[in-house]
Chain A
Amino acid sequence: MPEFPADVPRAALPGQERFVAPLDQTPLAETGSFDDSRPPENQWKEAWKRLRRNWIFWVSVALLAVVAVVVLLPQWFTDLDPTYAQLSRSLEGPSEGHPAGFDRQGYDVFARTIYGARASVLVGVLCTIVVTVPGVVLGAMAGFYGGWLDAVISRVADVFFAIPLLLGALVGLAIINNLWPDRGYWGSILTVVFALAAFGWPQVLRIARGAVLEVKNLEFVDAARAIGKTRRANLWGHVVPNSLAPVIVLATVSLGVYIVAEATLSFLGLGLPPSIVSWGNDISAAQNQVRSGQRLGVMFWPASALALTSLGFILLGDAVSDALDPKSRNRE
């Protein structure tokens, strides 16, 4: 290597020029001016800020607020009894006090639509809870601990995932309907919930496991370990809360989808028994009137109520997904 003359700076070696701004021009103060007096905004607060500015969010909130009132206080909307049949008025059109007319059995369609909300929403909400809790717990454990635990949990989930939801739920309901034919309101609702949940949880598990796998190697998890947190505390205190975003989106959207699934099961005759006032049962009962073109209103009312409710949850899921996904900030 040749000796460099003392007056030539080393940085000036040909092909190796480095363009470093002179020290006196570098605004060193800038890096120090970062405001660290307040803690950084947490991701939920930031998401809430974005959510508030989204009109879709407010539309879905308005829809769901109406649904909630109808579910809790149906007597505010109608004085009529949904289980009181006047066969003499079968399929009568709308009249004073009966805005939606009567169905084939002579039930008031409007009253049934109002009272039917409870069963549908209950199934949707309970199903989502029953699916999400074990899905997140097992998914988080599988993703975080890995190894044989992951292998076992994932394979068991695969077994349930491989069976189509509707088909599995139908077989399950066929069994329970026979073993336990008369099981009352809550018994029937819970049966449908568990039949759907039995084949729905692997989807949550997969999403939760994937999210945990992404999060578990980030710096803040190492930092928590460095300050002496146990693996378990780290998992439930740091990893899980930071991987919930995709699970929340899935839960909101699937709430709407489970409401539709309940209606489908009731339509196939294996969901809720006909004694329970529900949208699925009413739509199913109206099929002959629609097929023959006799009176479309009989199906229109429960079907629209169902569609609006499920739409409310799906819109909410959409809005939440936009708010929680930082990538979408650049997109919109």
Chain B
Amino acid sequence: MAWYIGRRILQAIPVLLGSTLLIYAMVFAMPGDPIVALFGEKPVSEAVRSQIEQQYNLDKPFFVQWLLFLGNAAQGDLGMSFSGRPVSELLAETIPVTFKLALMALVIEAVLGIIAGFYAGLKRGGIFDSTMLVTSLLVIAVPIFVFGFVMQLTFGVKLGWAPVTVGGDASWDRLIIPAFVLGLVSFAYVLRLTRTSVVENLTADHVRTARAKGLTDGQVNRRHVLRNSLIPVVTYLGADLGTLMAGAIVTEGIFNIPGLGNLAFRAIQQKEGPTIVSVVTVMVLIYVVMSLIVDLLYAWLDPRIRYA
């Protein structure tokens, strides 16, 4: 087991390095002069320019810049934003907000998706099943921001039950509607995954055995069908946390939530290199860590899987 974890971490290193290199190269290719952007309207003197270039290593070749970035990042220094604040500080402010939002979305999609998928699978072909299947397809087909606007209009503007935009105060209750919107697409996938899995398990040998030994329908469904059906669902949910945090870019825009997605979007618009690279690095890290956790979770949930 320890051997497997060690190997997985070693495998993750080239991915992490490659992803940062890729995004660093893309940001490097961005036109525009970051020093001019830093000074805005004011003219920049040659002396100041060369000093800044030296300070931020802008005079060095691309590859050296990337290595220096990695070295500094490892020490917690991710560079400065154009507004003059350290990127690490910006990340420390925004990551908790987006993490909270993504976690709420994950809980919402898991609870709703598993319950709906479970009952749809038990009564396959019934009215509830058909309704849920159509709903899930619609949810995947309609862009998330359309749902966002509709929810914002209904609950924020018309009914007044929730704030129209979240703004600076990102507390749990104010994030419920955005979290619901964010988790909607994944809800559809969780529902479909649970349903397929339940349908497969209903005809499995161990379920027939459980029925044969005299358990009631409820006991069989809960203890044998549901529990075994959750294996693929749990692994999907684990991998989904990273997707949700990356997908928050749209939801955070609509509801004006000061999170990681908002930070990334503003950085892309203003071509703020250090911030873009840092946000993407955080996303890649989350992805790498979550996929490792998911693989380990898989073995724990399904003892048939062994790691060599």
Which of the candidate stretches A8-16, A77-85, A162-170, A184-192 sits at the interface with the other chain?
A: A162-170
A164 touches B283 (CB 8 A): yes
Known contacts being A155-B14, A162-B19, A163-B22, is A331 close to B199, with CB within 8 Å?
Answer: yes
Interface residues of A in 165-219 (CB under 8 A from B): 165-168, 170-172, 174-175, 178-179
User: Does B157 touch A at the CB level, under 8 Å?
Assistant: yes
- How far in angstroms is the closest Cβ of chain B from A316? 11
Q: Chain A residues near B246 (CB, 8 Å)?
A: 164-167
Q: Chain A residues near B152 (CB, 8 Å)?
A: 291
Which of the candidate stretches A43-51, A129-137, A241-249, A305-313 sits at the interface with the other chain?
A: A305-313
Cα of A286 to Cα of B26 in the assembled complex, Å: 32
Cα of A309 to Cα of B246 in the assembled complex, Å: 25
Known contacts being A267-B143, A283-B145, is A175 close to B200, with CB within 8 Å?
Answer: no
Please indicate which of the listed interface residues B23, B27, B146, B250 has the most CB atoms of chain A within 10 Å of its own CB: B146
Interface residues of A in 270-304 (CB under 8 A from B): 270, 280, 283, 287, 290-293, 296, 299, 303
User: Does B158 touch A at the CB level, under 8 Å?
Assistant: yes
Q: Chain B residues near A172 (CB, 8 Å)?
A: 26
Which of the candidate stretches A88-96, A231-239, A256-264 sits at the interface with the other chain?
A: A256-264
The chain A residue sitting closest to B15, CB to CB, is A158
Q: Chain A residues near B32 (CB, 8 Å)?
A: 178
Cα of A175 to Cα of B269 in the assembled complex, Å: 10
The chain B residue sitting closest to A179, CB to CB, is B31
Cα of A328 to Cα of B141 in the assembled complex, Å: 24
Known contacts being A264-B143, A314-B141, is A163 close to B19, with CB within 8 Å?
Answer: yes
Q: Chain B residues near A324 (CB, 8 Å)?
A: none
Cα of A167 to Cα of B279 in the assembled complex, Å: 10
Known contacts being A155-B15, A179-B31, A314-B141, is A167 close to B249, with CB within 8 Å?
Answer: yes
Cα of A306 to Cα of B142 in the assembled complex, Å: 7
A174 touches B19 (CB 8 A): no
Q: Chain B residues near A318 (CB, 8 Å)?
A: 137
- How far in angstroms is the closest Cβ of chain A from B245? 8
Assign chain B's interface to a size class. 35 or more
Q: Chain B residues near A308 (CB, 8 Å)?
A: 141
B157 touches A267 (CB 8 A): no
Q: Chain A residues near B265 (CB, 8 Å)?
A: 170, 268
> Contacting B141 at CB < 8 Å: which of A166, A268, A307?
A307
User: Does A315 touch B at the CB level, under 8 Å?
Assistant: yes
Cα of A291 to Cα of B156 in the assembled complex, Å: 9
A160 touches B22 (CB 8 A): yes
Q: Chain A residues near B199 (CB, 8 Å)?
A: 331
Known contacts being A303-B143, A331-B200, is A163 close to B280, with CB within 8 Å?
Answer: yes
- How far in angstroms is the closest Cβ of chain B from A102? 19
B19 touches A159 (CB 8 A): yes
Q: Chain A residues near B243 (CB, 8 Å)?
A: 164
How many Cβ-Cβ contacts under 8 Å join chain A to chain B? 138
Q: Chain B residues near A263 (CB, 8 Å)?
A: 143
B247 touches A166 (CB 8 A): yes
Q: Chain B residues near A311 (CB, 8 Å)?
A: 137-138, 141
B138 touches A175 (CB 8 A): no
Interface size on A, residues (CB 8 A): 47
User: Does A65 touch B at the CB level, under 8 Å?
Assistant: no
User: Does B2 touch A at the CB level, under 8 Å?
Assistant: no
User: Does A72 touch B at the CB level, under 8 Å?
Assistant: no
B15 touches A159 (CB 8 A): yes
User: Does A73 touch B at the CB level, under 8 Å?
Assistant: no
Cα of A293 to Cα of B15 in the assembled complex, Å: 46
Known contacts being A159-B18, A179-B31, A307-B138, is A287 close to B149, with CB within 8 Å?
Answer: yes
Q: Chain A residues near B280 (CB, 8 Å)?
A: 163-164, 167-168, 171
Cα of A331 to Cα of B276 in the assembled complex, Å: 47
Cα of A257 to Cα of B247 in the assembled complex, Å: 14
User: Does B35 touch A at the CB level, under 8 Å?
Assistant: no
Q: Chain A residues near B279 (CB, 8 Å)?
A: 167
Known contacts being A171-B276, A306-B143, is A299 close to B249, with CB within 8 Å?
Answer: no
> Contacting A264 at CB < 8 Å: which of B26, B150, B250, B284?
B250
Known contacts being A171-B23, A174-B268, A293-B153, is A162 close to B287, with CB within 8 Å?
Answer: yes
B153 touches A291 (CB 8 A): yes
The chain B residue sitting closest to A306, CB to CB, is B143
Cα of A115 to Cα of B153 in the assembled complex, Å: 28
User: Does B144 touch A at the CB level, under 8 Å?
Assistant: yes
Q: Chain A residues near B144 (CB, 8 Å)?
A: 260, 264
Cα of A291 to Cα of B158 in the assembled complex, Å: 10
Q: Chain B residues near A179 (CB, 8 Å)?
A: 29, 31
B145 touches A178 (CB 8 A): no
Cα of A264 to Cα of B148 in the assembled complex, Å: 12
Cα of A179 to Cα of B30 in the assembled complex, Å: 8
Q: Chain B residues near A315 (CB, 8 Å)?
A: 137
Q: Chain A residues near B30 (CB, 8 Å)?
A: 174-175, 178
* Chain A residues within 8 Å of B, Cβ to Cβ: 155-156, 158-160, 162-168, 170-172, 174-175, 178-179, 256-257, 260, 263-264, 267-270, 280, 283, 287, 290-293, 296, 299, 303, 306-308, 310-311, 314-315, 318, 331
Query: 11 additional contacts, CB 8 Å, given A162-B16, A267-B143, A292-B157?
Result: A164-B243, A165-B246, A167-B279, A168-B23, A168-B280, A170-B249, A174-B268, A256-B141, A263-B143, A264-B143, A306-B143
6 A-B interface contacts by CB (under 8 A)? A164-B247, A166-B249, A168-B280, A290-B149, A291-B164, A310-B142
Q: Which 9 A-B pairs have the closest CB atoms?
A: A164-B246, A159-B18, A311-B141, A310-B141, A307-B142, A162-B284, A158-B15, A178-B31, A307-B141
